[in-house]
Structure 1
Amino acid sequence: MFLIMLRFSDNKPAAAEHMQAHNAWIANGFEDGVFMLTGTVEPKQGGAVLAHNITRAELEKRVAQDPFVATNVVTAEITEVTPARTDARLDFLKA
């Protein structure tokens, strides 16, 4: 499982120009079954994505294709998490 932190860069003003393509990238991640959660890092510092069912190399390629990353609206930091203990509702993450 991976946590992706998307932090706004100095190019944040360009976000509006790329928002539609960024949202399509997010929708594709959910459609592919890779993204489990996306949201805003408050207060409006960027975003976060929870991903699974993907290798790190595949995820790095996917993140590089995010229009926000490609146009330096955000910088991306990927952190891999190996779940050891979960609520029963999240047991599928340990597989």
Structure 2
Amino acid sequence: MLILSLNYVKPLEEVDQHIEPHMAWVNHGYDKGWFLASGRKEPRTGGVILADGDRATIEAYVAEDPFAVAGVAQYEITEVSVSRTAIGLAKLKG
């Protein structure tokens, strides 16, 4: 599993200009079966996506995020080998 942590590097006014294409990009990630969960950080400094798939493929997809392309957010990608989950979350185990 990959944890995609994005941090805004521009003011929210600039980030908000790219929300619609970013959300289309997120939805496509779910459609491809790569994204398992996602949401905003609180306070609103970025977001987190839990992803499943080949790291190189996910990294290439992250580079296409409208937030990244516009330079309003930067990603940190952390790979996790999940060994234990709550009931119902076994899919997260590698």
Query: TM-score higher than 0.5 here?
Result: yes
Q: Which residue of 2 aligns with 1:85?
A: 84
Displacement of 1:94 in angstroms is 1.9
Matches of residues 58-73 of structure 1 in structure 2 within 5 Å?
Answer: 58-73=57-72
Aligned counterparts of 1:86 and 1:17: Cα–Cα separation in 2: 37
Q: Deviations over 1:18-55 (max 9, x none)?
A: 11110100110111111111101110111110001x11
Deviates more, 1:57-66 or 1:85-94: 85-94
TM-score, normalised with respect to structure 1: 0.91
Name stretches of at least 5 consecutive residues in structure 2 with no aligned partner.
none
Query: Aligned to 1:89, what secondary structure does the other structure show?
Result: coil
Q: For this pair of structures, how many residues does the alignment match? A: 94
Contact kept? 1:11, 1:72, Cα under 8 Å: no
Displacement of 1:88 in angstroms is 3.0
TM-score, normalised with respect to structure 2: 0.92
Give RMSD over aligned pairs: 1.3
Name stretches of at least 5 consecutive residues in structure 1 with no aligned partner.
none
Displacement of 1:73 in angstroms is 0.8
Contact kept? 1:5, 1:47, Cα under 8 Å: yes
Query: Aligned to 2:67, what secondary structure does the other structure show?
Result: helix
Aligned counterparts of 1:42 and 1:12: Cα–Cα separation in 2: 13
Runs of 4+ in 1 over 6 A off after TM superposition: none
Q: Deviations over 1:34-93 (max 9, x none)?
A: 1111101110111110001x1111011000000001111111000001011112311122
